Amino acid sequence: MGRKDKRWVLQRKRDPYYQLAKKSNYRSRAVYKLLQLNEKFKVIKEGDVVVDLGCAPGGWLQAVRSIVGDRGFVVGVDLQSVKPLGYDNVITIKGDMTRRETLEKILSYLPSKADVVVSDASPNISGVWDVDHSRSVELTTVALIVATNLLKEGGNFVVKVFQGNLFNDYVDLVRNYFKKVYISKPRASRDSSAEVYVIGKKFLGKNFDMNLDSPILTLVKECPLCIDKKEEKEDKNRCKGKNIKLTLEGGRGSLIKKIKEMRKGS
């Protein structure tokens, strides 16, 4: 083990949130970031329908489930497989959130439009700051595109983004779609981390507009979600749906039953 690795292990052992997460059987210390954000901004409430983008290893799924309770419904999406949480009202989809077929799969399993979309996803870190910041903003912009497709009018959005030269442009982009926008760094975020969270409240119900005057949009112009459906169908290599896998906790029957019960109560 190298010197940097040893230092990282030592820092983690001394981290109170890491220790607290371990004692509480949480999969990630990031649980406390979302709980603290929700305590401050009241974005998620009991009974909400919530989508978690980039949900592995499942820490935010645990946090969301603890808030929405038995009456809520939670969908997690990630490129990696996520170990089931053990609740009937939680499903996970293994898929790429930039793909239209993943979006359609999410919509097909939601009992209604989502009350909240959250994302704590991070890009693959290269160690080159400009590259990592650009990748972070690209990823969070995709999350925003997905959120505008999933949220009901008046819904909320929480997303992690790395600070840098494009940060203000990203916040301005989010302001086009939400009545109120906040920026916050929860106590559980490490001081050394450049991450902050953008919170959008009261979704305006607008479709995502690729024609807005924003430098951010050049980062996602090749994103399949931003390409016309007709063009996407013509490219046979783009959308085959073979990378989508569902994990239905409690089985498909219990999921369908849960959806029907929620629709009756709505």
Binding site listing for S-adenosyl-L-methionine = 58, 60, 78, 96, 120
Provide the token pair at 241.
């749906």
Q: Which phi and psi angles does 9 have, rounded to 5°?
A: -65, -40
Query: Annotated catalytic, 160?
Result: yes
CA distance 169 to 141: 11
Contact 74, 50 (CB under 8 A): yes
Could you tell me if 170 and 216 are in contact, meaning their C-beta atoms sit under 8 angstroms apart?
yes
Query: What is the helix, strand, coil percentage profile of the chain, to 5?
Result: 40, 20, 40
d(CA 216, CA 42): 28
Cα–Cα nearest to 188, from 15, 25, 44: 15
Q: Which of 220, 230, 99, 119 is nearest to 169 (CA)?
A: 220
Catalytic annotation, pick one of 160, 240, 258, 264: 160
Task: Report yes or no: 196 and 118 within 8 Å, Cβ to Cβ.
Answer: no
Tell me the binding residues: 58, 60, 78, 96, 120
Instruction: Indicate which residues carry an active-site annotation.
Output: 160
